[in-house]
Structure 1
Amino acid sequence: MTTLLVASTGGHLAELYDLKPRLGLGDDCVWATFDSPQSRSLLDGHEVIHVPPATTRDALGTLRDLLAARRVLRGGRFTRVVSTGASVAMSFFVPASRHGLACHYIESATRTAGPSLTGRLVSRVPRTRLYTQHLDWADDRWRYGGTVFDGYQASRRVTPRPVSRIVVALGTHGRFGFPRLLARLVEVVPPEAEVLWQVGATRIPRMPAGARPHVPYAEMQQAMREADVVVTHAGVGSALAAMRAGHRAVFVPRRRSHREHVDDHQVELARQLDRRQLVRHREADAVTVEDLAEAASWTVAATGAVAPFEWTELA
C-alpha cells in the first residue's frame, strides 16, 4: 500500500515529516512537495516528486498543482493520500477522490479555533477523513488525533547561559515581511552577540549586517543547535525547528492588522505553546534583552514517549 504524502514547504512539510513516524505508514511512501532548500535537505534519501509552488491564496498555483496531481495519480501506484496542507492538498485530493483513493487531511497545528480555508474546502471532497490537532474544536467530522507538539517538554537549565549566539528566523514567505520584529531586534540585540539573521522578504531602512533572505535547512539546524537563544515568527515549522534544537524560542506572532499575514492564526498558537512553556510568547514591539536571557535559561527536549497519531482508514 503506497502512500503519497503531500505538503507545501515550510511549516506544513515540517509537521507532516514529524507526524509521519506516528502514523505507522512504514517505508512505502512517496513525498509530493515544492522544490526548496528545506525539502531537499529534510527529504534527502526519500523518493520525492516536485510539484509547482503555490503561495497563500494562489489560484493559479493551485491550478498548476491540480494538473501535476492528475499526472502523478494517473498510473494507479498510490492507494491513499495524506496531507497537512496547504492549497496543494486540495489540488491532490480532488483527483485522488475521483480515482477512489482514501484521502486524509491533518489540519495544521496553527489552526487552534477551527479549520483553515483549505480545511473547509477539502472537507467537501468525498472519501476524505479529517483530523484536528486541537481537542477544543474536534467534532463528529473533525477527529482529534494528537498534536505535533506532543512529546516535547521544557525545563529550566541548572546553569543559565549567556546570550552570545542568537538565531533570528523570520520565515521565508515571499509575500509577507515582518519589519516590526526585525526593527525591534536591531534595537535590543546586544552588539557583541553573534547573530544569524534569516529575514525572508523583510526589509527595513537599517538592515542588520549579514542579513540573508534564506538559509539552507541544514545550516539553520546546525546554527540553532549551537545558539544560546532562538527568536522566530510564530510558525509551526519554526517552533519545531527550535524545539528539535533544544530551545524554548522567543516566539513572536505576525499580526493581520500590520499586513504581516492573511489572518491572526499565529497569535493563538503562540499563546497555547507559551501556556505549555514550549515557547516564550512576546509581541513584536515588546521584545526585550531580558526576554532573550530568559529564553536562554530554558531547554526543550523530546520525552521519548509519544502516542501514535489517531487516524483511521476508510471503511
Structure 2
Amino acid sequence: MIFVTVGTHEQQFNRLIKKVDELKRDGIINEPVFIQTGFSTYEPKYCEWKKLIPYPEMLNKVKEARIIITHGGPASFIMPLQEHKIPIVVPRQLKFEEHINDHQVEFAKMVEKRFNYIIGVYDIKDLSDVIKNYNAFISNKELVVSSNNIEFNEKMKDLVNSFNIK
C-alpha cells in the first residue's frame, strides 16, 4: 500500500494528489493507494481518500504502507522515519500556490543533504521514477533517527538534583 499525506495546511496540494491519481490510473502504481487530501480541491478517482484523518489512523496507515509520500512538513515526514521507513517528500511550492513561500523546498533539501534519510522530489515529473525504483532509491539512504529525550532527561535530573531540595 502507498500512503500519501498532504498535512493540514489550508492551501491546496492538487499537484501531488492529481499526479498520484494519474499514476494509479495509468498502472504505474499497481497497489492500493490511500491519500489524505487536506484542503485540496482535486478529488481522486482511482485512489481511496479522505480529506482529514485522525492521528491514530494516520499512524496505522504509515505502519502498514510500503511507501509513504508526504509534503515537506517536518511532522509528516518524521512519523515514517520513526517507523523506520524512508519517505518520499514532495515539498509544497509557492509558484503552484501550495504555500506562502518555499520554506518546504529549502528545508527538504537541507534534510536530504545533511541526513540522507528522505527522498526529495522537487519536480513532480520525477515522482513516477522514484515510485517505480523506490527500493533502489532507499538502498543508499541512512535511516538513523535519534532522540534527544534520554540526554534531556539526564540533564534535567542533574539540574533538579543540583537544587538540593529535600
| TM value normalised by structure 2 | 0.75
Unaligned runs of 5+ in 2: 156-166
Conserved? CA contact 1:169–1:199, under 8 Å: yes
Aligned residue in 2 for 1:232 = 70
Matched, 1:186 2:24: no
Matched, 1:170 2:6: yes
Amino acid at match of 2:70: T
Matched, 1:291 2:118: no
- Number of residue-to-residue matches in the alignment: 147
CA distance in 1, matches of 2:56, 2:135: 22
Aligned residue in 2 for 1:302 = 145
Measured after TM superposition, the shift of residue 294 of structure 1 is 4.1
| Matched residue SS, 2:20 | helix
Matched, 1:202 2:40: yes
CA distance in 2, matches of 1:179, 1:217: 22
CA distance in 1, matches of 2:152, 2:126: 37
> 1:158-199 CA deviation, whole Å, 9 max, x = no partner?
xxxxxxx111001122x2010111111122243531111111
CA distance in 2, matches of 1:203, 1:296: 31
CA distance in 2, matches of 1:210, 1:240: 23
Q: 1:219 to 1:301 in 2, by over 3 A?
A: farther
Aligned residue in 1 for 2:116 = 277
CA distance in 1, matches of 2:143, 2:76: 14
| Matched residue SS, 1:266 | helix
CA distance in 1, matches of 2:135, 2:61: 15
Measured after TM superposition, the shift of residue 303 of structure 1 is 4.5
Q: Which has the higher helix share?
A: 2
Q: Which has the higher strand share?
A: 1
Q: 1:180 to 1:290 in 2, by over 3 A?
A: same
Q: 1:237 to 1:303 in 2, by over 3 A?
A: closer
User: Bigger radius of gyration, 1 or 2?
Assistant: 1
Measured after TM superposition, the shift of residue 214 of structure 1 is 0.8
Structure 1 residues 90-239: aligned runs within 5 Å: 165-173=1-9, 175-189=10-24, 190-204=28-42, 207-239=45-77
CA distance in 1, matches of 2:33, 2:43: 19
Conserved? CA contact 2:105–2:122, under 8 Å: no
Conserved? CA contact 1:251–1:282, under 8 Å: yes
Q: 1:304 to 1:232 in 2, by over 3 A?
A: closer
> 1:253-284 CA deviation, whole Å, 9 max, x = no partner?
11112111111110111101211211101125
> 1:35-89 CA deviation, whole Å, 9 max, x = no partner?
xxxxxxxxxxxxxxxxxxxxxxxxxxxxxxxxxxxxxxxxxxxxxxxxxxxxxxx
Let me know the Cα RMSD of the aligned residues.
2.8
Conserved? CA contact 2:33–2:47, under 8 Å: no
Q: 1:304 to 1:269 in 2, by over 3 A?
A: closer
